[in-house]
Amino acid sequence: MMAWKLAFRNLAGAGLRTWLNALVLSLCYFMIIWHKGLLDGWDRFARTEKIEWEIGGGQCWHSRYDPFDPFTLTDGHGPVPAELASRIEEGRAAAVLIAQGTFYPNGRMQSVLLKGIDPDQSVIKIPSGALKAENGTIPAVVGGRMAETTGLSEGDAVTVRWRNRHGAYDATEVTIARVFKTYALSVDAGQIWIPLDSLRRMMEMPDEATLVVLSRGSGLPGSLPEWTVKNPAFLLSDIDQLIRSKSIGGSVLYVALMGLAMLAIFDTQVLSIFRRQREIGMQMALGMTRGQVIRLFTLEGALHSILAAAIAAVYGIPFLAVLAARGFGVPQSSDSSYGIIVAEKIFPRYSAGLVLGTVLVIFITTAIVSYIPARKIAGMKPTEAIRGKIQ
């Protein structure tokens, strides 16, 4: 209590110097929270997109299917198990059949993944309703990235060639019924979505599927023979890993920022030893113990961070609130390392954890940086301190 009172008095008494330090520190708060909020907002957005467009509430894969090995597509399919079939019936799951093919957009040849999906599904955001279109050819939907790289647009017809389960080649025309916009590249690049029934017929794989997407909140099934259940955590593990590695990269910035701010505090505190040694000697003569001196100076330094938090709140909260509400514009495609095209607008996210965590980390760091010189101060002999003897 007494230490708090004295620390406040010292801070108030130091006037301008206190405010300058606190201002530097407050910038530190602001930059960290602003930058981290942006990253968090983007991470959350990327995750949500992947869940809504691809993962749903989890997936069941045919046990021989491996998304990283296209050759498994030949064998990685089978009849949909009864439990999943009834879920599909109830609209709580959607079957996806995947096959490899080749197509010829604008005279070029390009390999492509053909994905069959039920036009009536509403489990993931793929606009499968557009696949109900009838005009003699098979309707198809593709993502914006795919449309861009192949030069296809709505209404275009394109030849698709594939090998069915007996190894026989066949070809047909598909018509692009819809180009959809998603930030989840994994349902976009290099693939064409067509009606599930069409693909099953083309492949001669009636009632079969490669994977089944479960709707969100519908719960995972127990173990199924020939099929494996993949929970959302597994399906999100690569994006989560990416988020983690990104946040480590971001931390370097924070460390640099903090380093600067801490230098200012440290400098002030170290200067204090020399400038204030008489004062401290006098405090000892008046009966302060070493522990009390250390506590007082540590607290005095650490209080800068509280003051800084208050200052940062004054200019930071309105600014960040506007940003969070309006979104923060970023140049298109500046970063596709998430496997996702960057949104043109990011809505930053400032969680209580982020704000409190930053305040806590800065408070503790300031305290440590203040403690070190405080300990040196307290180690002085009072007789020497009073005479201002040290250096």
Partner 1 sequence: MNASNGPIARLSGLVKRFPMGRGHFTALRGIDLQIMPGEFTGVVGPSGSGKTTLLNIIGSLDTPSEGSAVVLGRSIGELSHKQAADLRNHHIGFIFQTFNLLPVYSVYENVEFPLLLLRKPAEERRKAVLEMLEWVGLSDKIRSRPSQLSGGECQRVAIARAMVKKPGIVLADEPTANLDADNSHHILKTMVRMNENFGTTFCFATHDEKVIRYLRRKILLEDGRVTKDETVKKPRLRRAGT
Q: How far is the CB of 9 from partner 1 (least distance, A)?
A: 6
To partner 1, the closest distance from the beta carbon of 31 in angstroms equals 30
Could you tell me the CA-to-CA distances from 318 to 38, 222, 313, 325, 350 in Å, in that order? Answer: 16, 49, 8, 11, 13
CB 282 → partner 1: shortest distance, Å?
Answer: 4
- At 210, phi and psi to the nearest 5? -95, -40
183 touches 339 (CB < 8 A): no
Measured from the CB atom, the residue of 2 and 322 that comes closer to partner 1 is: 2
Q: 370 in the Ramachandran plot: left (φ > 0), alpha (ψ -120 to 50) or beta?
A: alpha
| HSE-CB of 209 using CA atoms within 13 angstroms | 25
Report how far residue 366's alpha carbon sits from residue 268's, in angstroms, rounded to the nearest whole number: 11
Residue 372: count other Cβ atoms within 10 Å of its Cβ.
Answer: 14
Q: Which two tokens stand for residue 151?
A: 């030069």
Q: Minimum distance from CB of 13 to partner 1 (Å)?
A: 2
Q: Which is nearer to partner 1, 2 or 260 (CB)?
A: 2
Is 85 or 270 the residue whose CB approaches partner 1 more closely?
270
Residue 340 gets which letter from DSSP?
S
H helical segments located in the chain: 2-14, 16-50, 82-89, 144-150, 196-203, 232-235, 237-275, 277-285, 290-326, 352-378, 382-386
Report how far residue 295's alpha carbon sits from residue 1's, in angstroms, rounded to the nearest whole number: 11
Nearer residue to partner 1 within complex by CB, 244 or 278: 278
Q: Compare residues 351 and 383 and give the one whose CB is closer to partner 1.
A: 383
- For partner 1, the closer of residues 4 and 315 by Cβ is 4
Work out how close the CB of 285 gets to partner 1 at its nearest, in angstroms, rounded to a whole number. Answer: 5
| Minimal distance, residue 369 CB to partner 1, in Å | 21
Binding residues for partner 1 (CB under 8 A): 2, 5-6, 9-10, 12-14, 278-279, 281-292, 381-383, 386
Least distance to partner 1, CB of residue 382, Å: 5
Min dist. Cβ of residue 365 to partner 1 (A): 25
Q: How far apart are CA 253 and CA 241, in angstroms?
A: 19
26 versus 277: smaller Cβ distance to partner 1: 277
- Kindly state the smallest distance separating residue 240's Cβ from partner 1, in Å: 51
Report the 10 Å Cβ neighbour count for 216.
Answer: 15
Cβ atoms of 46 and 358 closer than 8 Å? no
- Strand intervals (E) in 93-216: 93-103, 110-117, 138-143, 157-163, 169-180, 191-195, 208-209, 211-214
Q: Which is nearer to partner 1, 14 or 361 (CB)?
A: 14
| Torsion angle defined by CA atoms of residues 340, 346, 350 and 353, in that order, rounded to the nearest 10 degrees | 0
